[in-house]
Amino acid sequence: PAPPADSGFAAPEALSNDFALVLVRAMIAAARADGHIDETERRRIMDKLSVSGLSADATAFLEGELANPIDLDAIVAAGKTEEERVEIYTASRLAIEPDGRAERGYLDLLAGRLGLADALVDHIEATVSAAKVSV
């Protein structure tokens, strides 16, 4: 479902290409947190590319992004509003199952760098977990 009009969150089709790329890069960074990107993580990232309307050259784009180092400072700096920072964290969380120390540590670092309150992060975690169970 689309977010409420007055929420400050953009519907997927309303994202700018630049911010959609930030979200994809955030997902790649999260997926790399444990040192490799598995097929499930790759599929989640490809799904985000197609939702963002970037699917025409998505495979080539993804391969190029996977070959480049991730600039966490740039990802964090791209979150200009609290809503964008929440979207960056949520996209990162959706990309992975943080069942290892590296992934959990990355998400904790990201939440801290984005300045997200612990209660908000807990809410995002609960929402993502519930969404993944119901799918």
**Overall pTM surpassing 0.85 (yes/no):** no
Give the residue from 75, 80, 68, 67 showing the smallest Cα distance to 92.
75
Q: How far apart are CA 19 and CA 40, in angstroms?
A: 23
With a CB cutoff of 8 Å and minimum separation 6, the contacts of 34 are 100, 102, 103
For the chain, the domains span 16-134
The single-letter DSSP state of residue 15 is: S
Fold assignment, 16-134? TerB-like (1.10.3680)
Mean pLDDT in each 10-residue stretch from start to end of the chain (135 residues)? Answer: 52 66 90 87 78 67 80 95 95 91 95 97 92 65
